[in-house]
Amino acid sequence: MDYEELFSIMDTSCQRVEEIPTITEGGRYCYQTDDPFFCLYRFESGSYDEGQVPVSLLLCIEGTVTVTRNSQSFSIGKGECLLLGANLENYHLEVEGCAYRASYPRKR
C-alpha cells in the first residue's frame, strides 16, 4: 500500500457531528434519524416483546440474540445478521450483549 499517496488525499480536518435525538425505553434505544425511510434501534442485554415492524435487519454486535415467535426460536451470534420479514408479527427478543435493528419507521 502506498501510504504517502493515501495520506496525501485524506482529509483529516475535524467536523462537528450533530447528536441524533434518542428515545430510551428500558434497554432499548430508538435513534431519530433525519431519513424518513430509516429507523435504527439499539438493544442492550435484556428481554423485549416486539410488535410487528416493517422488514428489518437485526445485527448482533456482541454476545447472542435469540428471536422467538410462538414455539420457534432462532439465535445469532456476534457479527451475524438476521432478516426479519414484514409478516413477522409479535415476537420476543432475548439479548445477551448488544444488537441493532434497522428498519423502515412505523410512522413519522
Do you know the residue count of the chain?
108
Model confidence pLDDT, tens digit, residues 24-48: 988 899 998 888 888 899 999 999 9
Which among 47, 50, 25, 58 has a CA at the least distance from the CA of 106? 50
Is the pLDDT higher at 61 or at 38? 61
In a domain, residue 9? The reply is: no
Query: What CATH number did the domain enclosing 42 receive?
Result: 2.60.120.10
Q: Give the residue numbers spanning the domain of 77.
A: 20-103
| CA–CA distance, 9 with 85 (Å, rounded to integer) | 42
In a domain, residue 14? The reply is: no
In a domain, residue 12? The reply is: no
In a domain, residue 34? The reply is: yes
In a domain, residue 13? The reply is: no
Please provide the average confidence, as pLDDT, over all residues in the chain: 90
In a domain, residue 53? The reply is: yes
In a domain, residue 4? The reply is: no
In a domain, residue 10? The reply is: no
Least confident of 17-21, 44-48, 60-64: 17-21
Is the pLDDT higher at 82 or at 18? 82
DSSP code of 34?
A: S
Number of domains in the chain: 1
pLDDT at 53: 79
| CA–CA distance, 15 with 3 (Å, rounded to integer) | 23
pLDDT at 73: 95
Q: Are 56 and 67 in contact (CB under 8 A)?
A: no
Highest mean pLDDT among 29-33, 76-80, 104-108: 76-80
- Residue 86 scores a pLDDT above 90: no
C-alpha cell at 4: 504517502
